[in-house]
Amino acid sequence: MADVNIKINGRDFAVPAGSTILDACRLCGIRIPTLCFMREINEIGACRICMVEVKGARSLVAACVFPVNEGMEIFTNTPKVIESRKTTLKLILSTHNKTCLQCVRSGSCELQKLCQEYGIENEDEFAGAVPNTHVDDTAVHMIRDNSKCVLCRRCVAVCDKNQGCAVIGPNNRGFDTEIGCNFNLDLASVACISCGQCINVCPTGALHERDDTQKVFDAINDPEKIVLVQTAPSVRVGLGEEFGNPIGTIVTGKMVSAIRALGVDKVFDTNFAADLTIMEEATEFIRRYTQKDNLPMFTSCSPGWIKFIEYYHPDMLPHLSSCKSPQGMFGATAKTYYAQKIGVDPKNIYVVSVMPCSAKKFEAQRPEMSAAEGCPDIDVVLTVRELARMIRKAGIMFNELPDGEFDAPFGLGSGAGTIFGATGGVMEAALRTAYEVLTGEELKELEFTDVRGTQGIKEATYNIAGNEIKVAVCSGTANADKLVRMIKSGEKNYDFVEIMACPGGCVNGGGQPIQPAYVRNNVDIRAVRAAALYRDDENLPVRKSHENPDIKAVYAEFFGEPGGEKSEEILHTHYTPRTRYTVK
């Protein structure tokens, strides 16, 4: 595409034709503030924060939607522009709940940051009527507080365009407009899949995960409880951002030390349970493939995806793997094998999961996730953000901690378990094991690069022991919906399909650290975090799930064999169709 010549604040630049003013300025080193803008999914010019002056235009224009043209002269910081932005911020604040000291997003709120940048001193200049709002706390995983909503519609866009659910949108009109569910139902009554992607893109504290940190503090201080903490693969590549580290920094050792410093009894690695999942899932796939039973087989690691298929494609439930997620397998193993090993009543073992995922909170309370009678597999789930709050509250100086190590016997995870956090990782881990089981030969090249990358849908065909195995990898449930429909129609034919609810996989989960829209719009966070996990995999001594000595031990001592009677009873589960709307 040819360039056009423009002026920005009196300086000459050449930028790609068709660029918006927002992108043109960014390419020239000038940041224009935004609130509503999300690249590709919410380019609506609604918030009016990005207004700039264009020579010859009768009024200010919205930089996020206004295209550049040859000879255009743009002014980004004139008194008129600054006054416009300040007025808009004051108008937003006039109906905004300004209890910032009590807000979970204080310090990372995009509205708060803009007000600081523009020196908003008289926040009550336009004080007057305030819309009637309510707090929706019906969902297991999150809270919606519309008194803090700025109507940017970023949550609406991500729910519709990335996730294909569209369970939220603007209700009412004019001054009374608010974001809510269809028919004014609460979140617990609609087909929300608990993915938390809306939380990740919210610029304020209007959306946040349900905070369960006090439950963990209480358990730690209960002398009768043995508190076990498991951390998912993507936590080690996300947690550091909460303490000022660059995106993609692996902080495994400091994470373990910080959790141990909270006073828990044991810190274990969900990578171990990811390896356990591969042993069961690969075995299940080989059986299904051999018997041509309900193919393609879909992975079952992502609870947001599980909820999506229950709501939107219940007829495809027989195609789901019956394996519990790694979170569920860890909890089930802890409250059976480990409880027996240390001679403790499972009811006194308190399992805490630290996950990059808000849907794990929903998964934990599923009644079918209970291997030990009367005990849930998981007692409480914390997002990465909640863990960070606990660490700060306890006064732990994260970046100054020495590197710690996970405890035995669930402290060793393979590289295959590590890459579970990236889209394609589960598939690659399963193929590493399936190849060696089917061929009886050592796999020399461990990287299945065809299933790597952040594309929404990827597909590949592998010849393993004379078998042509067709696979697909998908992330984001809008893509999942598209893929499932193609499978149903016969347009696509696969044997094994990995699906993750969140675009890019768990590295971009709904419980990961919040990054402002400017970063999300200009940095592929998913790719940077995933690349770190792949580097971690390369540096680990064990890179195949079936070669993990701790996995071999737990089968030898307790489960017997993958897919056996005991593992089926403890490590597998079932799912049921769901009704999309529940009117009380």
Neighbours of 566 (CB within 10 A): 14
| Catalytic-residue membership of 363 | yes
Residue that the structure tokens 């393609």 belong to:
296
From 70, 83, 125, 368, the catalytic residue = 368
Token digits of residue 393: 């509250």
From 147, 189, 302, 321, the catalytic residue = 321
What H or E segment, with its residue span, contains residue 271?
helix 270-291
| Catalytic-residue membership of 506 | yes
From 53, 280, 363, 428, the catalytic residue = 363
Contact predicate 201/158, CB 8 Å: yes
Contact predicate 353/327, CB 8 Å: yes
CA–CA separation, 193 and 141 (whole Å): 10
| Catalytic-residue membership of 321 | yes
Torsion on CA atoms 75, 78, 81, 83, rounded to nearest 10: 180
With b for 16 or more beta-carbon neighbours within 10 A and e for fewer, the 424-443 pattern comes to bbbbbbbbbbbbbbbeeeeb
From 115, 301, 357, 474, the catalytic residue = 301
Task: Name 230's Cβ contacts closer than 8 Å, sequence gap at least 6.
Answer: 268, 269, 270, 273, 327, 330, 331, 334, 351, 352, 353, 354, 410
From 241, 242, 281, 386, the catalytic residue = 281
Cα separations in angstroms, 182 against 156, 166, 171, 187:
12, 9, 8, 9
CA–CA separation, 531 and 422 (whole Å): 9
CA–CA separation, 391 and 258 (whole Å): 7
| Catalytic-residue membership of 149 | no
Helix (H, G, I), strand (E, B) or coil at 442: coil
| Catalytic-residue membership of 301 | yes
| Catalytic-residue membership of 53 | no
From 36, 109, 202, 506, the catalytic residue = 506
From 148, 307, 360, 458, the catalytic residue = 360
Catalytic residues: 281, 284, 301, 321, 360, 363, 368, 506
